[in-house]
Chain A
Amino acid sequence: MSMQPAGVFAQSYVRDMAIFRTWKQGAALGFFVLALLLVPTILGPRYVAIANIMLITSVVVLGLQITTGLAGQVNLGQAAFMGMGAYTAAALSSGQQWPFLVTVPLAGLVAALFGAIFGLAAVRIRGFYLALTTIAAQFIFVFAILNLPASWTGAAQGLRVETASVFGFVFNTDNRMYFLILAITAIMTVGAYGIARSRHGRAFVAVRDDDLAAGFTGVNVVRAKATAFFVGAFYAGVGGALWAYYIRFVAVDQFSLFNSVYYMGMVIVGGLGSMAGAFVGVFLIRAAQEILTSVGPSVADIFPALGSSVVFASVNIILGAAIALMLILEPRGVMHRFNILKRAFRLWPYPH
């Protein structure tokens, strides 16, 4: 439970539901945004590259947080939805020369429609059976990309992507891309918080907690599940488009089933149902990945049999162990732990 500092009382419903209930919260966010804006000037180019990947992953994982965290629908096709977005953006930008501002929303939309198909399966299929149809999404995606005409998708060779440009301004360096990605991530984040507080968000939570009971209280369960998949896949598509513009090359193996599993892991570590948790999860796992990549070579000297796969292997061990430990010790994720800590701090020195 979140708890306000002593002396903060809302005098109207609007105030009670506001995102910023005290000016300090607004100021804290302001400082955080300022810090994010200063990343390229303070930290070196290597960190900007890491930050870019983290932000793109955050958009994808935010979407998964909506589908799985809010609406409770296990989704192991998020990488496929991301791939749909990436390929749409890549094909439209390099083939048709469409502008960035058009391709990104379109990429989101194409991914969302692809995702909604699997949500609509909820008409008949329920529970974990539905989760498994999303694995089918992964296989259908790979099959479609490899077998559609090569002039659209590049088939096995992959596709090169043009640099992003908005109104003639070309985002051709990592630093410039950083601000572009940051701006879009910010928009998507505001959107995610809005969705969580909206009528749809409440319907999602009701469906997650008990879909039968939600149905009896008047929630259109099938629509809620389809919407959850639609929105989650939209986020994946936008993230995929950003990925395409940032890496400037798309290939099928960037969007494998194992990536979907990884995104799921990030959601679990961060905390199911918490939007801030999505960012925390992405940050922790990506940071662990980066640290292991930099110490990897020296570990490889100790275990020469592993060769270059040591990074992948050790990231897996850490992430797998982290997921298991989180679920056993704190099923509600790092963010929940953080909130408990915050509350304890506010109540101190009293126990309750």
Chain B
Amino acid sequence: MIQLIEYALNGALLGLLYALIAMGFVVIYRASKVFNFAQGELVVVGAFLVWFFTLDLGLPLYVGFALALIGAAIFGLIIEPLLFRRLVGQSTFSMVMVTIGLLILLRGLVLVIFGPSVRPFPDLISTAPITFGDITLNRGLAYGGIFTILLAIGVSLYFSRTRPGLRMTVVAEDHQIAQSMGISVRRSIAYAWGMGMVLSTLGAVFYLNGKSVTFLVAEIGFAALPVALLAGLESVGGLIPAGIIVGVAQGLAAGYIDPVVGGSFSAVFPYLVMVIILFLRPSGLFGWRIVERV
């Protein structure tokens, strides 16, 4: 019984981490209607920025971390003038394809600038595990989980209650209409990528606490996709239940199915859950059901 709870709790925490990574993805979609295939690479860039400002430059931990967040925001903001400015008004298809180009480009740039070697990652949070009786939890993931829930509520309120958030929502619905209402699509895309980059960096901090960083960390971007799809691409608040569902399912699969099947079934399981749920509810659990017209 204790074991079951431990598997489920650790799974839930991992799911909340996926939710945080997926939040970067959803925020970009939610404010620009661009499906970001390069999400994993954004996490890697964020992780290397944190590494660069803290361990490489030797700045105090929290100063370096703050600088890394500022650097991440700037990095996100310059993606718009570089890649998307000329594409506003064209089909979303080309914008999405550009993110595939960005994925390949960032992988190359990270390798050239930071190299393929494994780097240590600074511990912003103590690595000692949290123990309740017989249950042990990863401290970084636990704090990350709480942070993710609070952040999701905040971001969700930002998009539905504040003026700038609503402006971005309009852009996600339709670029042309937004443009004709006097809302700058370009600015919305730029802010979206800035926010997405900051969220990805935060995700990297909680994920890599006590671990090390290489360019292979990017795989978490695709691992977090089922959470984003399950929530529905437009829903920030929905990420929390979706993350917990996926995480608990994965945690239990790792605990009980993996030993039987004898492989990493738990790595595939979220995708199966995702495909099944998409069959039942094609726009995810909380996504917008858009009426399509010709």
Contacts and interface: CB of A to CB of B under 8 A. Distances in A.
B98 A323 contact: yes
A126 interface: yes
B104 A121 contact: no
Interface residues of A, number: 52
A336 B98 CA distance: 18
Given A133-B278, A146-B263, A268-B97, A261 B112 contact: no
Contacts of A165: none
Contacts of A310: 112
Contacts of B233: 128-129
A20 B283 CA distance: 46
Contacts of B135: none
- Counting from the closest, the 6 A-B pairs by CB-CB distance are A320-B105, A316-B108, A323-B101, A313-B111, A317-B108, A320-B104
Given A320-B101, A327-B94, A121 B111 contact: no
A217 B163 CA distance: 42
A96 interface: no
B278 A121 contact: yes
Given A133-B275, A135-B222, A139-B268, A315 B98 contact: no
Which of B102, B222, B261: most chain A Cβ within 10 A?
A: B222
A268 B107 contact: no
Contacts of A309: 111, 115-116
Contacts of B35: 128, 131
Contact of A324 (B83, B109, B262, B268): B83
B229 interface: yes
A324 B278 contact: no
B271 interface: yes
Given A136-B274, A212-B294, A323-B100, A126 B282 contact: yes
Contacts of B134: none
Contacts of B222: 135, 257
A244 B104 CA distance: 26
Given A125-B282, A324-B98, A143 B106 contact: no
25 contacts: A76-B37, A121-B275, A125-B279, A129-B233, A129-B278, A135-B271, A143-B267, A147-B265, A212-B292, A212-B294, A306-B112, A309-B111, A309-B115, A313-B108, A314-B108, A316-B105, A316-B109, A318-B108, A320-B102, A321-B105, A324-B83, A324-B102, A327-B94, A328-B83, A328-B87
B86 interface: yes
Interface in B241-294: 261-265, 267-268, 271-272, 274-275, 278-279, 282-283, 292-294
B213 to A, nearest CB: 16
Contacts of A295: none
A261 B111 contact: no
A248 to B, nearest CB: 27
Which of A132, A212, A321: most chain B Cβ within 10 A?
A: A132
Nearest to B287: A129
A59 B97 CA distance: 22
Contacts of A307: 115-116
Interface in A111-151: 121, 124-126, 128-129, 131-133, 135-136, 139-140, 143, 146-147
